[in-house]
A = this chain, B = another copy of it.
Amino acid sequence: MSDKPAWLRPHGRPWTNDTERVVFENPWMRVTDHAATAPTGQPASYGVVRLKNYAIAVLPLHADGAVTLVGQNRFPLGDYSWEIPEGGGPIAADPLESARRELAEETGLVAAEWREVLRLQLSNSVTDERAIGYLALGLSEAAHGHHADDTEEIAIARVPFREALDAALAGHLQDALTVAMLLRGYHMAREGSLPDALARGMLG
């Protein structure tokens, strides 16, 4: 993209953080409670969920236009969720290395080509969680296959891209990173940002 449009400029004063205390901490997050001052000058109390990892997401696109999805039981909503491969990447680590690791661990795939295609703040009024989305192309099976950690039981499905996208838009896949990355893949296929044969395979 070219120059940053003028309308993107910030307005007004930022929030100020007046006092802060940690109210909960585990290996993945810290919850902090703040006395703050709003941009309007109004005092406000604010609770923030601070994540210790980036959310790393990988859209693995096979040459025929199929995508590899992973399925797992999720605890917070108590449901079964089909998603693109995702996981936490330490904020101090190279996020591309985290992406390679997640893809290999969850699917047993390695990719010859990686492209960073999305940066997201997942819920920026409540958490500071940041996500990075990668496209993985030139896929092949790793020598040693996939291995989940001891709380994960991961199912794998290789499905036509269009079928995955339609399932997301019908509400069968709801993980935000998955839906955003499928829509980003559609956009790239339509805009000529992917090899022609791949784009044709994806768009069906």
Q: Which residues of A are interface residues toward B (Cβ below 8 A)?
A: 1, 4-5, 7-8, 10-15, 17, 23-24, 26, 28-29, 31, 33-34, 36, 38-40, 42, 44-51, 55, 69, 71-78, 80-82, 88, 117-131, 150-153, 155, 157, 159, 163, 166-167, 169-172, 174-177, 179-180, 183-184, 186-187, 190
Contact = CB atoms under 8 A, between A and B. Distances in A.
Given A23-B23, A29-B126, A125-B74, A120 B174 contact: yes
Count this chain's copies in the assembly.
2
B49 A49 contact: yes
30 contacts: A1-B170, A4-B170, A8-B82, A12-B73, A12-B155, A15-B73, A15-B78, A17-B75, A23-B23, A24-B24, A28-B126, A29-B47, A38-B150, A38-B151, A39-B73, A39-B153, A40-B151, A40-B152, A48-B75, A49-B49, A49-B127, A55-B123, A75-B125, A81-B121, A117-B169, A119-B171, A120-B175, A122-B176, A169-B184, A183-B183
Nearest to A69: B7
Contacts of A169: 1, 117-118, 184, 187
Given A28-B126, A120-B176, A176-B123, A10 B47 contact: no
Given A23-B24, A39-B153, A180-B176, A75 B15 contact: yes
Contacts of A170: 1, 4
A146 to B, nearest CB: 14
Nearest to A7: B157
B167 A131 contact: no
A10 B77 contact: no
